[in-house]
Structure 1
Amino acid sequence: MIKVVRGNPTPEELAAALAVVRARAAAASVVPSGAPTPRDSWSDPSRIAAHRLPPPGPASWSRTYWPGS
Structure 2
Amino acid sequence: MTDWKTTQCLRQISSRTGQSVAVKPKWGFFGTIFNVILEQINDTKSAYNQISELVGNQIVDEKVVIDF
TM-score, normalised to structure 2, is 0.36
Higher gyration radius (CA): 2
Q: Which one scores higher on RCO, CA 8 angstroms, separation ≥ 6?
A: 1
Considering fraction of residues, name the structure with more helix: 2
TM-score (norm 1): 0.36
